[in-house]
Amino acid sequence: METKDAVTGFSALSQETRLNLMRVLASKGASGMSAGELAVYLGVTPSTLSFHLSALEQAGLVQSTRQGRHVIYAVRFAGLRSLFSFLTETCCGNRPDLCGDLARLLPDPETEELHMTAAFNVLFLCTHNSARSLMAEAILAQIGKGKFNAYSAGSEPAAAPMPQVVEKLRVLGHDVSRLRCKSWDEFARPDAPRMDFVITLCDTLQGQQCPDFGEKPVTAAWPLPDPAKFSGTDIEHATMINALYGMIRRRLEIFVNLPYASLDRMALKQRLDDLGDSVKAPA
């Protein structure tokens, strides 16, 4: 890092609101927060927030990505690490490892997770975990075998999976023996698998707050129609199930083939958000 870049970085941090911004965003990891959420959380006006976010982004400490109508901001940890490295690179005669607790400011480049590598745990969420999320679980278990572990859950799980969905999956050769409706609370327990991705398949989860799945998951929303709310004939309902299966499968075929080794977490989140965008996603 050049001295002038370090000066810009430290200058950007030398203000109370920006320090608070960095602390809040750091707690959210790669998922970040929208500008609106940040403004409410910090109690500042949108124009003031925009000014401070711009300063942090120009300093390379924050990055942004668009998700639908919202702009999501997240800490650029590589930039933050470079700033700390500049500050400590001459410590103890160019041996920062001898500087005691100061060395803890420098994550080990060999172990820092800048890029994600398979295999991944993926959790699909919807309200009742009876149709969309079960479809996604079954499809990913088949096409992502060896690289992805698929799970699904709901905020208000139904008593049993939707029969038409189970039959559709069975006819298409998917293993349906383990499919069941379950609460998302199962995946917030200390002994639950650690998730790499959490993907919501409905517009909202009835206004409920998701459990804490840890700081690691990259989150995304792929809103899809709810077959439980569809009214029509049996033939029309079967047609709707077929279309829903196609939409989920096409998204997941792209998902499993993303260049994970070359994407950092923020770029990866952008790709997932694009898949969920009604304009950019497959029809």
Give tens-digit pLDDT for 210-242.
566 766 788 888 988 888 888 788 888 899 999
pLDDT beyond 50 at 8: yes
Q: Alpha-carbon distance 160 to 134, whole Å?
A: 11
pLDDT beyond 80 at 248: yes
Give 67 or 193, the one with higher predicted confidence: 193
- Could you tell me if residue 251 is inside a domain? yes
Q: Of the ranges 42-51, 68-77, 106-115, 187-196, which is most confident?
A: 42-51
CATH of the domain at 65: 1.10.10.10
Regarding whether 217 and 144 lie in a shared domain, the answer is: yes
**What per-residue confidence (pLDDT) applies to 268?**
85
- Could you tell me if residue 130 is inside a domain? yes
Give 98 or 121, the one with higher predicted confidence: 121
- Could you tell me if residue 281 is inside a domain? no
Regarding whether 156 and 259 lie in a shared domain, the answer is: yes
Regarding whether 151 and 92 lie in a shared domain, the answer is: no
Regarding whether 267 and 199 lie in a shared domain, the answer is: yes
Q: Alpha-carbon distance 50 to 233, whole Å?
A: 51
pLDDT beyond 70 at 209: no
**What per-residue confidence (pLDDT) applies to 283?**
40
Ramachandran area for residue 202 (φ above 0: left; ψ -120 to 50: alpha; else beta): beta
Terminal Cα distance for the chain, rounded: 45
Residue 233: which domain range?
A: 120-276
Domain boundary among 72, 105, 138: 105
**What per-residue confidence (pLDDT) applies to 99?**
61
In the chain, how many domains are there? 2
pLDDT beyond 80 at 113: no
Q: Alpha-carbon distance 269 to 198, whole Å?
A: 11
Regarding whether 146 and 77 lie in a shared domain, the answer is: no
Radius of gyration of the chain (CA): 22
- Output the CA torsion 228→232→236→238 (10° steps): 30
Regarding whether 238 and 199 lie in a shared domain, the answer is: yes
Domain boundary among 82, 105, 128: 105
Q: Alpha-carbon distance 253 to 267, whole Å?
A: 18
pLDDT beyond 70 at 282: no
pLDDT beyond 90 at 131: yes
Domain boundary among 81, 105, 129: 105
- Could you tell me if residue 110 is inside a domain? no
The pLDDT of 2-14, averaged and rounded, is 87
Q: Of the ranges 52-56, 65-69, 207-211, which is most confident?
A: 52-56
Q: What is the mean pLDDT of the chain?
A: 81
Phi and psi at 251, nearest 5°, equal: -60, -45
* 139 close to 248: Cβ distance less than 8 angstroms: yes
The pLDDT of 58-76, averaged and rounded, is 77
Retrieve residue 221's tokens: 């929303």
Listed in sequence order, the residues at least 6 apart from 139 whose beta carbon sits closer than 8 Å to its beta carbon are 150, 174, 245, 248, 249, 252
pLDDT beyond 90 at 116: no
User: pLDDT-based confidence at 78, cuts 50/70/90?
Assistant: confident
The pLDDT of 148-177, averaged and rounded, is 94
